[in-house]
Structure 1
Amino acid sequence: MLTGRLLFGSGNGSLTIVQNRITAFWFKGKELALAFGLTLSFSRLGSVLNFFFTQQFEIHFGIQWTLWGGTLLCILGFISAITVSVLDKVGMKQLGLDGVIQQESKKVRVQDVRRLPLRYWLLVLTIMFFYNGVFPFVADASKFIQDKSAGYSQQEAAYVAGAVYDSSLVLSAAVGILIDYVGLRGVFAVGCAVLTLPVFALLAFTFVPPLVSTVWLGITYSFAAASLWPSIPLVVPQATLGTAMGLATSVQMIGIGLSNLIVGHILGTKSSELKIPLWRWQQMMVFMLANTVACIMASVCLNVVDKQQGGTLNRSTKRSSAAEVRQPVDTAPLLDEVGDEGSIN
């Protein structure tokens, strides 16, 4: 089972990187946040369907057929990936960009990663700290709801926990349209982090119905995802976009993995049958709060640096497009070839 999960995780991570690169390439300067929002909506649709149907499917057909169903979905995803790859290749040839991008990409070296702009690294930290508070919580939310709040069955608790993804499914596309129109990506990043703070405080120290907190978290998650990920193509050259997306995803996954280990240590049990004391859950929520505070600090620094470097992240799509016409960056090389100490800030 561990081998299978490792293989699935490695494939899923690589797929996410390529998917983000293709989306960013074709929608940069257009409806970029909307494109990422729609991508997120379909991803969350899969999560929602999993919450609602997988357990029932397993009850009726057994675990073996459930796994074969997952295999079929992976095959459909593989066919879709081939189709998208062909369309991407054909589109680049029609625009005459395939040779240019390949030529510029060859100039990128592994050691050049350290010369990615400061705004990029602040974006990566903001993404990591925000997701550190979302995914580890969702993974244990069903158990938390059952342990803290009486009267929830396992299925009901799963539905309440899944409200994070339900909200994201409904809102992501609309949020993408809004961000494309008004810009203010950096401002939204700070706002999402600040507004996420009460979520974990309510869960830890009050008896407000957990559905309120999960829906609230889903809303802030929708805004964060639609503002943070589409910001990466705005601060790195096109030729390095795949590398930048890959690094961001890797750092995000490392952060989530470490957070899951810390949460597991805090909760102190591997059994899903034993009730975990409330004080342990409160410690877990404090850890989530700490990640959110770190996210706020990183996003504030991001806005300060972005303001000093022209305010790209907080421009609307129209103003960003106008700026790109004056100073195109899609095919800008990673490094200034005049000297070795150049920067891409």
Structure 2
Amino acid sequence: MSISCLHRWVAVILFCITSFGGYFSMDILSPLQSQLMVDVGIDEVYFLGLHTAYNWSYCIFSLLGGPLLSRITTRTGGILFSLTSFFGAGLVWMGSMIRNYWLIIIGRIFSGSGLCNCITARNCATQFFFEGTKEMSLAFGFGMSFSRVGSVLNLFFSPFLASLLGYKMMLMISFIICGVSVVASIFYFCVEKKAEGIKVNSSGKTNRASAENKMRLKDLLQFPIQFWLLVFVTPFCYSTVNCVVAVIVDFLKTEFDVSSFTAGLYSSIIYLVSLVGCSISGAVADYFGCRLTLLLLSAIFLCAFISFLALSNVLPVIPLVFGGLSYSIYASLIWSFVPIILPSHCAATGNALLSFSSSFVSGILSLVIGAIIREMGYRSALMTTLITSSLCFLLVLVMKWIDKGNKSALDALNLRCYKKVVDN
């Protein structure tokens, strides 16, 4: 007896809801930037320091979450990490109520540590249910699409609702949504428990219970060069997108003199496109393959998007679509490389290393961008992100060159073709 298709997709949806609150609380501050800065009494550097605190906690605790998930079940990790995000969102709300910047910082640290490990757990859950199927990239893409609904709702509705209700009410709503994610993690616990029982009954054992399949430190020495290149590709793409999203609302308001609602509407295009694009690009990769070719296309779109923002004086509606396409392709593919490249018992650590690298660079870049905005303006800051997006493009080219000498294993037509190359 095998896990049914319905069972697999219900599990993925539940875990997407589990990480939904974390994504919502992560992006909630960007559309509330102006109100929060005035009310708490901070400038752009201190505001982007909130993103830095989030990214660095995300960075540090992601290294702990991977090995932890290798020793506890994903279902237990989901409850633990969603509770951490819930607590962090509550501290951010309380900090805004008493106008205490440092309490907000502490809340962001808890939120970052919760979400980073929720994402790692979600990727492990997706691999647990879809490993060996031809729907794996689609499942990863769907997970990113569903989870990013929180980001779209933030950028689309939060500026308007904040003008009516106040930014503090929006932070309270973020706290409540994180509570809903905790409830979803409890339901997921039951769903995965049943699925694990099905696997035990059909195979007589479970990989998670096998001592020989636990990750060991020396296994890091066996990770292939393609994975370590991914560790560098990931932060340059993620940090570029995250920094642009963090300042895009105020950039549009300042440079193009649009209202908060209009700026939020335009800035939501990136994630709005990714809602559909992640699933579509994942399905394309599953059916046609060419994963590295698609990743290279994503890097090209990202460079074009940033170049237009930095150098053009035209309202960047179409470039924002390209930004969304770039993010869609990247997000649906980058995490699906991990179970293809690494053994299953190393997947949690591999996901954690990717999360660590992306958050570490994002944290540093956020501080740099904040300082450049204060001293030189938004255009100069965007030129800095153009450098990181160009580095992403060059590293993907190196990956493709190495893969070509390796019988194009990662660029194979589909997952089954890749497994045949590895077996040979």
Output the TM-score relative to the length of structure 2. 0.69
Deviation at residue 160 of structure 1 after TM alignment = 0.9
Q: Residues of 2 paired with 1:314 and 1:104: CA distance?
A: 33
Counterpart of 2:308 (choices 202, 207, 215) is 202
Counterpart of 1:142 (choices 238, 243, 249) is 249
Deviation at residue 181 of structure 1 after TM alignment = 0.7
Question: Given that residues 185 and 228 in structure 1 are in contact (C-alpha distance below 8 angstroms), is that contact kept between their aligned partners in structure 2?
Answer: no
Distance 1:106 1:53, change over 3 A: same
Counterpart of 2:194 (choices 69, 84, 90) is 90
Instruction: Show the counterpart of 1:157.
Output: 263
Confirm whether residue 293 of structure 1 aligns to residue 399 of structure 2: no
Matches within 5 A, 1:17-56: 17-29=120-132, 30-56=134-160
Confirm whether residue 282 of structure 1 aligns to residue 379 of structure 2: yes
Deviation at residue 89 of structure 1 after TM alignment = 3.3
Matches within 5 A, 1:181-196: 181-196=287-302
Matches within 5 A, 1:103-252: 103=210, 107-150=214-257, 152-252=258-358
Q: Residues of 2 paired with 1:23 and 1:48: CA distance?
A: 23
SS at match of 2:182: helix
Distance 1:322 1:237, change over 3 A: closer
Instruction: Show the counterpart of 1:72.
Output: 176
SS at match of 1:312: coil
Question: What is the letter of the counterpart of residue 111 of structure 2?
Answer: F
Question: Given that residues 234 and 312 in structure 1 are in contact (C-alpha distance below 8 angstroms), is that contact kept between their aligned partners in structure 2?
Answer: no
Question: Given that residues 196 and 217 in structure 1 are in contact (C-alpha distance below 8 angstroms), is that contact kept between their aligned partners in structure 2?
Answer: yes
Question: What is the letter of the counterpart of residue 372 of structure 2?
Answer: I
Deviation at residue 307 of structure 1 after TM alignment = 2.8
Q: What stretches of structure 1 move > 6 A for 4+ residues in a row?
A: none
Question: Given that residues 229 and 395 in structure 2 are in contact (C-alpha distance below 8 angstroms), is that contact kept between their aligned partners in structure 1?
Answer: yes
Question: What is the letter of the counterpart of residue 248 of structure 2?
Answer: A
Output the TM-score relative to the length of structure 1. 0.84
- By relative contact order (CA 8 Å, sep 6+), the higher-ranking structure is 1
Question: Given that residues 197 and 289 in structure 1 are in contact (C-alpha distance below 8 angstroms), is that contact kept between their aligned partners in structure 2?
Answer: yes
Structure 1 portions without partners, runs of 5+: 270-278, 329-345
1:108-128: CA deviation from partner (whole Å, max 9, x where unpaired): 223533432211111121111
Distance 1:310 1:286, change over 3 A: same
When structure 1 is superposed on structure 2, of 159-168 and 57-66 the one drifting more is: 57-66
Q: Residues of 2 paired with 1:105 and 1:14: CA distance?
A: 24
Question: Given that residues 135 and 286 in structure 2 are in contact (C-alpha distance below 8 angstroms), is that contact kept between their aligned partners in structure 1?
Answer: yes
Deviation at residue 182 of structure 1 after TM alignment = 0.8
Question: Given that residues 123 and 232 in structure 1 are in contact (C-alpha distance below 8 angstroms), is that contact kept between their aligned partners in structure 2?
Answer: no
Identity %: 26
Question: Given that residues 412 and 418 in structure 2 are in contact (C-alpha distance below 8 angstroms), is that contact kept between their aligned partners in structure 1?
Answer: no
When structure 1 is superposed on structure 2, of 296-305 and 84-93 the one drifting more is: 84-93
Question: What is the letter of the counterpart of residue 404 of structure 2?
Answer: K
Question: Given that residues 292 and 400 in structure 2 are in contact (C-alpha distance below 8 angstroms), is that contact kept between their aligned partners in structure 1?
Answer: yes
